Amino acid sequence: MQIVLFLIFVLLILLVVVSKKNSFSKNEKVATTIVVAVFAIGIYIYESSVDNSAEYDREIVNAFRQGKTLTCEEHKIDKETFLYISGTQTFMPQKSEIDLEGIIVKVSTCKVD
């Protein structure tokens, strides 16, 4: 994703620089370049945040699969009582856990004990 953003950014700068002298004034070119740069930086920051969040979620899931106990909201999550559902990134109680029936816990709300 970051490579695509970089290529789009370079393409837009080239378009601004190469455009006809009469179509954009120097101030308009500078303003357009600044707007594109701010937009690209915003996208980069968002993508970095998403990557960090995904990495944290992977660490939580790996800890769960290694048999560690997780604290998620007010629940203690472990392999004996919960199942990990990869499609929704959640933990659900196993069928044998009638007391916990209906509880769905998001991976992002968990931390390793």
Q: Are strands 105-106 and 90-93 parallel, antiparallel or unpaired?
A: antiparallel
Cα(3)–Cα(77) distance, integer angstroms = 38
Q: At what angle do helices 26-65 and 2-18 cross, to 10 degrees?
A: 180
pLDDT, position 20 = 62
pLDDT, position 58 = 94
56-107 confidence digits (pLDDT tens): 999 999 999 999 999 998 999 999 999 999 999 999 999 998 899 999 999 9
pLDDT, position 22 = 62
Q: Where are the alpha helices (DSSP H) in 1-113?
A: 2-18, 26-65
6-53 confidence digits (pLDDT tens): 777 777 777 767 766 567 777 877 887 788 788 878 888 888 888 889
